[in-house]
Structure 1
Amino acid sequence: VYPSHLRFLSPDKALIVSFLLGHFKIIFMRVAALPADTIPYSFRLIEARGRVSDRMGWITDQKQFLTAIEVMHLHSQGKLLLSDEMFRVLAIAMERINFEYGPAMTAVMRGYANLRAKGHFVTFHSPPPMLQRYCYAVWHIFQAFNRPVTRKTLQTGPPDFLLFIPRADLTPNTLHNISQTLQRLPDPLCPHMIGIVHGSKLTFARIYPLAVALHRMDRQIKAPQFQHPGICNGEDTD
């Protein structure tokens, strides 16, 4: 059943137009009208661009599950104005994603909340093509106390830290492949930290230098308790 103003179109065209109308309805959703100083910079970026889809990607794309977490988290705090239909779509997507990535999502949400609590500005991006095989998404992490953070910084400036969330627990062989991949990335994208999902934990490994950190992670994975100096879990991200 199509809206009355689409009935003059053929079924195929009406379906396409209905899809586009629904798409643009999502695109033009706005951040709730809050005082400017209460909206974190990364969320003001949504408002500046005028569309949530820039941050969410297509929510059904599993690579964007981190942004689904962020949007749902904001909605629960009353910081996003979501229509009932959009919330329903998000809920379905989250349920599907949670079925596959439940433990990882728990770890990522905890790590994200702790980064935010420590004053970091966090934005989410799709991984570069070379890393898509290994990770769900990339976090760009900005530290407000180290340098001015502006909209332009968030849009075009290199982050203070780049962090990616692996698709699975890392084996020594996978670490070697990731090491080779990261060495081919452009300098601004070369990460200082790597996010490791291990069970229900998110561990941030510092890259000082990359080879040393990868060696430590290699030892970590073989260790029964997954603990090592120089590696910090999601509860301590300074």
Structure 2
Amino acid sequence: MQCGQADPHGPKWPEAEQTLERKTLRPHPRFLTAGRFTYLIPALAVQETDRTGRFTASGPAEGASRSAEPRARPRAPAALRSRGTLGLSPRRTEPGGNAMSAAGAGVGGRRWARLSRLVSFSATHRLHSKCLSKEENLKLYGKCNNPNGHGHNYKVVVTVHGEIDPLTGMVMNMTDLKEYMEEAIMKPLDHKNLDLDVPYFADIVSTTENVAVYIWENLQKFLPMGVLYKVKVYETDNNVVVYKGE
């Protein structure tokens, strides 16, 4: 059987369908095969094989299925898959507007870090508001409203942040931070009655939230502006307050 002629022993296709005029068709990637296009239309498998600019039509091969088998969807290059949809690393911004990549390097190679130090102090206090009645205080604070007070072994974590100095390799000298925390936390609070010995709590209820605020404000007197990042106070292992100066 010559190219362009129908198989006399095959299905009888209408004469008009033996040859088809070339039409400009854009192949779907799913039907793109090596070097030529294959289009599926009802009852015909049309292939671009004739150099004269015409399509030749033939019926489906014997035993072949008329429906196309699904092909695997092409995958993106490995480089893009490993780096995300757009091939970009996530970025974040540290104080001062320095864009940071996931690896931590900022603009111009500068790097930022957070530094934390923990101290512990013991103090006693009583939860009692002068704005509430005796009954209201007892109902609100329960046993923490005990007239003789109660004590805690507080733990305080202070976190500072800033650029890593390329010469010293530090955000801040830990010795300096230790001294600042000694002045701002240990001296005014350790082994003290918060309500009687610390003027700040004369009219403010000495809750852990207010203790965290007090420590933040006290540290600001010693630390360079913008360096303090977070104060975290543990009243107990289960009760924790975090304050960031809001």
TM range (shorter): under 0.3
Q: Which has the higher strand share?
A: 2
Greater gyration radius:
2
TM-score, L = length of structure 2: 0.20
TM-score, with structure 1 as normaliser: 0.21
Task: Report which structure shows greater RCO (CA 8 Å, sep ≥6).
Answer: 1
